[in-house]
Amino acid sequence: MSALPAPLCPPRRILMGPGPSDIAPRVLAALAGPTVGHLDPYFLKVMDEVQSMLRQVFSTSNELTMSVSGTGSAGMETCVVNLIEPGDRMLVCVNGVFGGRMADVAARCGAEVTRIERPYGEVFTPDEVATAIKQCQPKVVGIVHAETSTGACQPLEEISQIVHDAGALLLADCVTSLGGLPVEIDQWQVDAAYSGTQKCLSCPPGLSPVTFSKAAGDVIAARKTKIASWYFDTMLVRNYWGQSRAYHHTAPINMNYALHEALRATLEEGLPARFARHRKNHLALRAGIEAMGLGFVVAEPYRLPMLNAIRIPDGADDKAVRGKLLNDYGIEIGGGLGAMAGKVWRVGLMGETSTPRNVLVFLAALEACLPGKVPAGAGVAAANAYYGS
């Protein structure tokens, strides 16, 4: 018999990549609570409270709002597989990796997918979307609100009006935006949206908040074919989250405890204050990065405050710098994906990670990893000046 592995002793990191983000001790403590049954009255009360708090964070009154048992990609698949029947037309706006993933999921569900594309780091204009809708007349238009692979924030309100004027449904990827900047599901008339727990909500990965409008729910109920996924069939799962409490699957009890506490922390801080905190720390980071002579991929009006795509300076070794940050300073940042691989560093300031301490520590550590390539002390000085102002 081989020797048992050593007990787990994970290293302490500062999680400044594209997710997961740092987790508050109170959320980890909730995760460690005693497990009860998935139909226990106590857990059913937890589910009700999670649902209520998710509605507040999504800024919606949608009845069909819940946490899907799975990560953010499970939320994506839930939304697409419920709205799409084989042969349906779906328009997907692709300006990064996750728009591309949505198109892939839609094709796997049997959709006739039309893709419109922008270079990574750019966003779509309403006119571009309107032109594509006229050409393909889709049932569903899918777009990424916060593109995690590029740091770009896509304005949705005007596009939403165009989508609905054409009689289509709007599906939005809010994985990185929820809890870090305004996500106004009802005001923007978003018909379906999904997110993840591990970004700005600062909960461990494992659940995906989703919400469907009444119009989307009516489309799902009127389907002519069965939803291809039994596990993600909202017509079944809603009975578990609704008043009938019909057994569907064994929910991840303790993950819902953690999400419950993460949502409590979010609403306790207050959404406007939370959004302002993310914005402030992003602007301090920007001041430091620009003082170091570095730049961002995304134009300023469309930059996400919680995910910063920073251009790698000439002569810098992407993997070596990220490795030094991790091994010498305990700081995790992300590399580029897809067309941006080897060209950018993705620096997250999400949820618990979004603090002045982390901004200043990261800028000092990055300078140490780029000897001779950036002005000594300039980044930290500029960020401190911003905070002081």
The mean of the pLDDT values for the chain is 97
Let me know if residue 187 belongs to a domain: yes
Let me know if residue 8 belongs to a domain: no
291 and 209 fall within a common domain: no
pLDDT in tens, 69-93: 999 999 999 999 999 999 999 999 9
Residue 69: which CATH number? Answer: 3.40.640.10
Taking CA atoms, 201 is separated from 6, 8, 39, 53, 386, in Å, by 32, 25, 25, 12, 26
HSE-up of 192 (CA within 13 Å, CB side)? 27
259 and 300 fall within a common domain: no
Which letter does DSSP use for residue 64 in this model? E
pLDDT value at 233 more than 80 = yes
Which residues lie across from 311 on neighbouring strands? 344
Closest among 190, 210, 188 to 64, alpha carbons compared: 210
Q: Which domain holds residue 31?
A: 25-267
Select from 267, 289, 309 the last residue of a domain: 267
Q: Can you tell me the distance from the alpha carbon of 19 to that of 366, in angstroms, rounded to the nearest whole number? A: 19
Select from 240, 267, 294 the last residue of a domain: 267
**pLDDT at residue 1, rounded to an integer:** 77
pLDDT in tens, 14-43: 999 999 999 999 999 999 999 999 999 999
258 and 314 fall within a common domain: no
In the block, which residue shows the tokens 């589910």? 47
Let me know if residue 337 belongs to a domain: yes
Please list, in sequence order, all residues whose beta carbon lies within 8 angstroms of the beta carbon of residue 267, skipping any fewer than 6 positions away.
53, 56, 57
Q: Can you tell me the distance from the alpha carbon of 198 to that of 18, in angstroms, rounded to the nearest whole number? A: 9
Select from 211, 232, 267 the last residue of a domain: 267
Let me know if residue 133 belongs to a domain: yes
pLDDT value at 117 more than 80 = yes
H-type alpha helices, 201-270: 214-221, 234-241, 253-269
217 and 340 fall within a common domain: no
The domain total for the chain is: 2
**pLDDT at residue 244, rounded to an integer:** 86
260 and 275 fall within a common domain: no
Please list, in sequence order, all residues whose beta carbon lies within 8 angstroms of the beta carbon of residue 299, skipping any fewer than 6 positions away.
121, 122
Burial (0-12, 13-18, 19+ Cβ within 10 Å), 368: middle
Collapse the DSSP code of 298 into the 3-class scheme (helix H, G, I; strand E, B; otherwise coil) and give the result.
coil
**pLDDT at residue 243, rounded to an integer:** 84
40 and 147 fall within a common domain: yes
276 and 361 fall within a common domain: yes
Let me know if residue 19 belongs to a domain: no
235 and 125 fall within a common domain: yes
284 and 259 fall within a common domain: no
Let me know if residue 311 belongs to a domain: yes
pLDDT value at 378 more than 80 = yes
Crossing angle between the packed helical segments 214-221 and 234-241, to the nearest 10 degrees: 120
- Answering whether pTM is above 0.95, one says yes
pLDDT in tens, 235-244: 999 999 988 8
262 and 286 fall within a common domain: no
Please list, in sequence order, all residues whose beta carbon lies within 8 angstroms of the beta carbon of residue 243, skipping any fewer than 6 positions away.
none
In the block, which residue shows the tokens 């300076």? 313
pLDDT in tens, 169-226: 999 999 999 999 999 999 999 999 999 999 999 999 999 999 999 999 999 999 999 9
238 and 292 fall within a common domain: no
Residue 313: which CATH number? Answer: 3.90.1150.10
Let me know if residue 169 belongs to a domain: yes
Let me know if residue 294 belongs to a domain: yes
Supply 157's token pair: 């309100």
287 and 231 fall within a common domain: no
**pLDDT at residue 135, rounded to an integer:** 97
HSE-up of 318 (CA within 13 Å, CB side)? 14
Q: Can you tell me the distance from the alpha carbon of 203 to that of 180, in angstroms, rounded to the nearest whole number? A: 13
Mean pLDDT over 244-268 rounds to 96
Pairing state of beta strands 334-335 and 344-348? Answer: antiparallel
